[in-house]
Chains A and B, each alone.
Chain A
Amino acid sequence: GQNIDQPTEMTATEGAIVQINCTYQTSGFNGLFWYQQHAGEAPTFLSYNVLDGLEEKGRFSSFLSRSKGYSYLLLKELQMKDSASYLCAVKGAAGNKLTFGGGTRVLVKP
């Protein structure tokens, strides 16, 4: 089966850094995606990892360790507009479907 775990909620201060962890146990692995979802809106793509290591994209970075079944999303220089839910999703061995974690709601305070 597929199991993806993320913390439910995190709070951070504007300008700070927050790290959102994601652990997964899946039937095979063919990539991990991070999505951002603002309240009342659709998920939007943030980053993709398939090999071990860090992928950097402006203020956002994502890390993957396949041997540990672990990823994190790092948000730097937090802004109020970063308040949203962040969803970790894994593509398993079979087919083209993604399995999503429950999402981590990040609240950025002034």
Chain B
Amino acid sequence: DAGVIQSPRHEVTEMGQEVTLRCKPISGHDYLFWYRQTMMRGLELLIYFNNNVPIDDSGMPEDRFSAKMPNASFSTLKIQPSEPRDSAVYFCASSTGGQGLQETQYFGPGTRLLVL
């Protein structure tokens, strides 16, 4: 299997611009997670989906952030408008969502976002 795929791998943009991050989960995985990682705050869960439905978005920082999962093989995380404090590495992860070891999350390579 190809693993979790994310694009772009790097993004540099200017404050105020819209940013769209993309994720393709591992085929057959029912859960998809979006995380943000910074030195100051570590790895934080933003939102997760089960069978394409958002289950918990309590980690989404504010209305500028939105996430969608139109089908089982694709999800987007959008920031509009972007701000310098959004600069971070954004990871997407997926899992089968069973019990025990089946709940192991597999991470994509991440998108390194820099907002100037």
Contacts and interface: CB of A to CB of B under 8 A. Distances in A.
Given A42-B91, A42-B110, A96 B104 contact: no
B61 interface: no
Contacts of A103: 42-43
B100 A45 contact: no
B52 interface: no
A48 B105 contact: no
B100 A50 contact: yes
Contact of B42 (A48, A95, A101): A101
B contact face: mostly helix, strand, loop, or mixed: strand
A31 B103 CA distance: 9
A102 B38 CA distance: 10
B104 A42 contact: no
B103 A42 contact: no
Contacts of A99: 45
Interface residues of B, number: 23
Given A87-B43, A102-B42, A96 B107 contact: no
Instruction: Give the size category of A's interface with B.
Output: 20 to 34
A3 interface: no
A96 B50 CA distance: 9
B31 A96 contact: yes
Contact of B45 (A31, A48, A97, A102): A97
Nearest to A102: B42
Contacts of A43: 43, 91, 107
Given A41-B109, A87-B43, A103-B42, A97 B104 contact: no
Interface of A: 31, 33, 41-45, 48, 50, 87, 91, 95-103
Given A48-B100, A87-B43, A100-B44, 10 more contacts: A45-B104, A50-B100, A95-B56, A96-B31, A96-B48, A96-B103, A97-B45, A97-B48, A103-B42, A103-B43
Interface of B: 31, 33, 42-45, 48, 50, 55-56, 91, 95, 97, 100-101, 103-110
